[in-house]
Structure 1
Amino acid sequence: MDKFINWLREEGRSSGTIKTYLQVEQFQKWWVEEKAADSFDPEEVTALDLQDYKQYLIQHARNKRGGRLAAATVNKLLQVIRTYFKFLTETGAISHNPALKIKSQKIQNRHSSVRWLEDKEKIRLLRKINNPEGAKNTWHYIRNKAMVYTFLMGGLRVSELADLIILDVDLAKRRLTVHDGKGGKERDIPINDDLFQALSEWLDIRKQSPGEIVFPSQKKGKFTLQGIEHVVGKIGEQLGLEDFTPHVLRHTFCHDLIIKGYPLQVVAELAGHEDLNTTRIYTMPGEKETKKAVNSLSLGDSF
C-alpha cells in the first residue's frame, strides 16, 4: 500500500483522492474471505472475481445507515479497483490487468446519486444564513455565511474551498481562482454580486496576510474536509434539511445554471468537470418534476 500511495502522489493525486483510493483495502479483505485465502494475492485475482465483487457492492454492501450503496458510490469503488490494478500492472507487480473489462453501474436517474436544493429549500437556506439573529459568535457566523455562498455561487468542491488562500480571491477583478482542482486543473470563477458581498464582509474581518487560507477552522488552522462538512451539516440540521452537504450546494450551483439555459460546456468549465457526461446529469428532471408527472396520472376522469 505504501508503494500504491507513492504512485498516486507521482500521478499528482491530492491527499483527499489518495484517501479515497485506500478503500481498495475493502476489496482485498473481501477477496481473502471469499477465497478463504491466507493473504491477498493480486496475481490470483481474475476478471470474474471483480465481477463478483461488483455484484456484492450492488446487492449486499451497506452504507452507514444500513441501506444499499448508491450507484455513484459503487462506481467510485469500482474506479478505485481500476486504478489499483493499473498501478499493479504498470509497476510489474502483476502480469495482466483483470480490471480492464469491469464497467460502471448504469445510473438511471439522478435520485440515486445527486441531490440539489429545490427552490423552497434554497429560499429557506438564504433566509437562515442572512439572518445573524441568534448567532453566538459573529466571526463564525460571517465565515460560515461566506463558505455557504462560495459553494452555492461558486460551485467549489470541499477540497477546493479548504485550499483557497486569500491571494486566490481577487475582489477587484471579481474573480476566484482554483489552482488545484480535480485532475490538477486551474480554473477561474467569476464572483457575482451575492458572493462578492459575502466574501467582502468575511475578508474585512479576516484581516490576515495574502498567503493565509481564506476559511480557517475555529483554532485558526486549516479546516479538514470533515470539519467543513460538519459546519455545513449543522446548518442543514437547523433548517431541517436532509442530506445537506457542501456537495449538495455545488450540485445546486450546476443545476441552477442548466435551468437558466446555459450550455453544458459553460457549466462544465465553471464546475471543473473533465467529462460533459458528468455535467449532463443536471439536465435530468428532479424529484419534484417526476412526482408531479406521476401525480398527474389520475383515474378519476375515467369513472
Structure 2
Amino acid sequence: MSAVEDFLAYLAVERQMSPHTLDAYRRDLTAVAAWAADKGHGDIATLHTEQLRGFAADEHRRQQSPKSIQRRLSACRSFYTWLLKHGRIAANPAASIRAPKAPRKLPQVLDPDEAKALVEVPTDAPLGLRDRALLELFYSSGLRLSELCALRWHDLDLEDALVTVIGKGRKQRSVPLGSHARNALHEWRAFTGATNDSHVFPGRNGAITPRAIQLRVRQLAQQQGLFKRVHPHLLRHSFASHILESSGDLRGVQELLGHADIATTQIYTHLDYQHLAKVYDAAHPRAKRKK
C-alpha cells in the first residue's frame, strides 16, 4: 500500500472523516503525485520544498484558482505532517509554502425580515409541520446540513432547549434552541409519535438526504416570496451574522458554529461592517460617495 493510501486509511478510520472529505484529499494528493511523476521527481512522499514550490508555480501558470492551490497545499501539509509523525520523513517540505492569496468572497445572508418570512411556512400544508421544524431549527441553531440530517430525537433536549451534534472532526457541541424552534419541534414530534432513536427528519431509507433538504428549502423560499438563491447554508450564514450583529461576541459565535479556527468566523465581522457602512452612507449627510 502506498503512503497516500496509508494516510487516507488513517483519515477514514482514526479521524473518521466523511467520504466527501476523503475524496477531496484523494483528488488533491493524486494531482500532486501525477505532477511529480510527470516531472520525473519520483514518489510524492519524497518531494522536497523547492519541488513543491514548483508545483504551486505550475498550478498558478495553468490558471488554477488560488483557492484550489491553497487546498492542494493544505492536503500536502496534512500528508507530510502524518509522514513526519510516523518517522517516514525528517521534515515537512510543505510547511513553509504559501499559495497565492485568494480574494475573500463574503457569504450572502438573509436579512431578519427575509429569515422570518422563510421560516414561517404554513403548517397546514402537507408536511408543513416538518418544514416549519426544519427551517426553524436551521435558523435557530446554525447547524450544518450534515448535522441536521444525522439528528435523532435523543440529540434534542426540548425541556432545556438544547441540541447536541457531532460536527467536523467528530467534535461534539451543544447549541441553544430558540423558543420558536422548540415549539415547532414539539408539534412535529407529537404528529409523528417518533421514538428517541428515530431520526428527527426521516427519509425513505433512514435519515432525510442533504439533496432532499436542499431542494425543499429552495422550493419553500419561492413559495414564501424569496426570489434569491436560498440554500441550507444560507440559513447558517444568516444565523451567524444576526447573532454577531446583535452581540458583537465573535468567540461566542465561533463556539456556536463549531469552527476550529476563529479566522473562519471572522468573515462575519466583514459582513457586519458592510451593514454598518451601508447605514452610515445612507444616514450621514457628508457620507455620500460619488459613483
8 Å CA contact 1:165, 1:212 repeated in 2: yes
Q: Is the 8 A contact 1:58 1:74 kept in 2?
A: no
Q: Would you say 1:19 and 2:26 are equivalent positions? A: no
Pick from 226, 244, 258 the counterpart of residue 272 of structure 1. 258
* SS of aligned partner of 1:102: coil
The corresponding residue for 2:121 is: 130
Match for 2:231 among 229, 245, 250? 245
**CA contact under 8 A between 2:12 and 2:22: conserved in structure 1?**
no
Q: Which residue of 2 aligns with 1:170?
A: 157
Q: 1:169 to 1:233 in 2, by over 3 A?
A: same
Q: Is the 8 A contact 2:163 2:177 kept in 1?
A: yes
Distance in 2 between the 1:208 and 1:36 partners? 57
Match of 1:199 in 2: 185
SS at 1:255 equivalent: helix
Q: Cα–Cα, structure 1 residues 207 and 32, in superposed 2: closer, same or farther, change >3 Å?
A: same
* Secondary structure of the corresponding residue to residue 247 of structure 2: coil
* 2-structure distance, mates of 1:168, 1:52: 48
Q: Does the aligned pair in 1 maintain the 2:214–2:232 contact within 8 Å? A: yes
Does 2:142 match 1:155? Answer: yes
The 3-state SS of whatever aligns with 2:94 is coil
SS in structure 1 opposite 2:174? strand
**Shift in CA distance, 25/271, structure 1 to aligned 2, threshold 3 Å:** closer
Is the Cα–Cα contact under 8 Å of residues 33 and 43 in structure 2 kept in the other structure?
no
- Report matched runs for 1:90-239 at 5 Å: 90-103=85-98, 106=101, 109=104, 112-119=105-112, 121-126=114-119, 129-132=120-123, 135=125, 138-139=126-127, 141-178=128-165, 180-217=166-203, 219=204, 221-236=206-221, 239=226
> TM-score, normalized by length of structure 2?
0.78
Aligned partner letter, 2:160: K
1:249 CA displacement: 1.0
CA distance in 2, matches of 1:198, 1:290: 36
Distance 1:152 1:7, change over 3 A: same
Match of 2:240 among 254, 269, 274: 254
Cα shift at 1:87: 2.7
Partner Cα separation in structure 2 for residue 160 and residue 14 of structure 1: 14
Identify the match of residue 77 of structure 2 among 61, 66, 82: 82
> What is the CA-CA distance between 1:174 and the residue it aligns to?
1.6
User: For the residues of structure 1 that align with 2:7 and 2:211, how far apart are their CA atoms?
Assistant: 24
> Counterparts of 2:41 and 2:55 in 1: how far apart (Å)?
17
Cα drift, residue 288 of structure 1: 5.9
SS in 2 for 1:122: helix
- Is 97-106 or 286-295 further displaced after alignment? 286-295
Post-superposition offset of 1:297: 1.0
Q: Give, as a single letter, the amino acid of the residue that structure 2 aligns with 1:6.
A: A
Deviations 1:162-202 (A, max 9, x none): 22110111112222122x22233322222211111221121
CA gap of 1:54–1:156, structure 2 versus 1, over 3 A, is farther
Q: RMSD of aligned C-alpha atoms?
A: 3.4
Gaps of 5+ in 1: 62-67
Aligned residues: 278
Cα displacement (A) at 1:260: 0.5
